[in-house]
Structure 1
Amino acid sequence: MVRIPLPRRHHAWRRAAAGVCLVAPVVALLWVPWYAQDRPQLAGVPFFYWYQLAWVPVCSLALLAAYLLTRHPPKP
């Protein structure tokens, strides 16, 4: 059986998904008017601060997902 290599566009959806993973935190943190408020508070900390701190683990997971989507399998 002859194996035909997949076209490069086959992996385009993986690159697009990785791009979404990288752009989503940037957009969420640069859209300041959406989260520039004091309420609700969590343990006395205004929303503005804990919203930004909540994005720290989310950003690391997004970076991990982008890496996993774009890494190349090892060549034999």
Structure 2
Amino acid sequence: MSDAPEVDRPVVTPVRVVIAACLVAPFVAMLWVGSYAKVEPTFLGIPFFYWYQMVWVLLSTVLTMIAYKLWQRDQRARKEGARS
């Protein structure tokens, strides 16, 4: 018998995998420079290189918001589960 306190271990759930994917996707998209290092197609005269990055700024915001809301819901569910 040990006197060490019992510690909850992190659990990998499908929701947490989705959260991780939402947070990792923008990094992968921006670090894979070869996929967007070109001029064509242009959008309203803006080269692809620039508008692709601007679209990812918006997508990153949305994905981070989704990850945050999923994390809040997951934490709320864990607290309610611990009470039961």
Q: Note the residue ranges of structure 2 that are not aligned, 5 or more in a row.
A: 1-9
Largest Rg, 1 or 2: 2
TM-score, normalised by the number of residues in structure 1: 0.78
TM-score, normalised by the number of residues in structure 2: 0.71
2:3 aligned residue? none
The CA deviation at 1:50 is: 0.2
The runs of 4+ residues in structure 1 deviating greater than 6 Å are none
Q: After superposition, what is the alpha-carbon deviation per residue over 1:6-35, rounded to whole angstroms, capped at 9, x for unaligned?
A: xx75x6111111000001111011100010
Q: Note the residue ranges of structure 1 that are not aligned, 5 or more in a row.
A: 1-7
2:45 counterpart SS class: coil
| Higher RCO (CA < 8 A, seq sep 6+) | 1
2:52 aligned residue? 51
- Computed over aligned residues only, the root mean square deviation of the Cα atoms, in angstroms, reads 2.0
The CA deviation at 1:48 is: 0.1
Q: Tell me the number of residue pairs that the alignment of Structure 1 and Structure 2 aligns.
A: 68
Partners of 1:13 and 1:42 in 2: CA distance: 37
- Letter aligned with residue 61 of structure 1: V
Q: After superposition, what is the alpha-carbon deviation per residue over 1:33-71, rounded to whole angstroms, capped at 9, x for unaligned?
A: 010001111111100000000111100110011111111
Partners of 2:41 and 2:31 in 1: CA distance: 20
